[in-house]
Each structure stands twice: as structure tokens, then as C-alpha cells.
Amino acid sequence: MINKHVPADALMVGVPARQIGWMSQYDEQLDLPLAGKGKVSCELAGAVYVLENGTLRVEV
């Protein structure tokens, strides 16, 4: 049962769940902070991931 919002691509663990990181579309853990701003590229896909306002997006 999920009783609160979980951000897309968030890496969650435990009961109750807590966020410990972010995941790429290819299931690689991204080196980004949990909050704030950040930008990192995924070596597998070559995609650039941008974290802003608690939302992770792929930069085109």
C-alpha cells in the first residue's frame, strides 16, 4: 500500500519507504542530490538528467 506521493525515478527503500537516490531509465543509480538542483549524464544511454524542484527530467 502506498500512502504518499513518490517522485518518478526515485530510488526508494525500507518500510516505511524513504528515498535514497535517483535512477536512470536504464536502471543505473544517478549521482544526484535528493533535493535541490543537479545535472548528470548517464553513461549507458548518453542522456542528461536534470533535477529541479524535486522533479527529475531528461534533457533533450
Q: What is the pLDDT of residues 15-53, one digit of tens each?
A: 889 999 999 998 999 999 999 999 999 888 789 999 999
What are the residue ranges of helices labelled H in the chain? none
Query: What's the Rg (C-alpha) of the chain?
Result: 12
pLDDT band at 1 (very low <50, low <70, confident <90, very high): low
CA 17 to chain centroid: 15
In one letter, which amino acid is 4?
K
Mean local confidence (pLDDT), 8-12: 94
Q: Domain-by-domain residue ranges, the chain?
A: 10-59
C-alpha–C-alpha distance, residues 30 and 24, integer Å: 6
Question: CB within 8 A of 55, min separation 6: which ones?
Answer: 7, 8
Q: What is the CATH number of domain 10-59?
A: 2.20.70.110
The pTM is what? Answer: 0.86
Place of cell 536504464: 26
Between 2 and 57, the higher pLDDT residue: 57
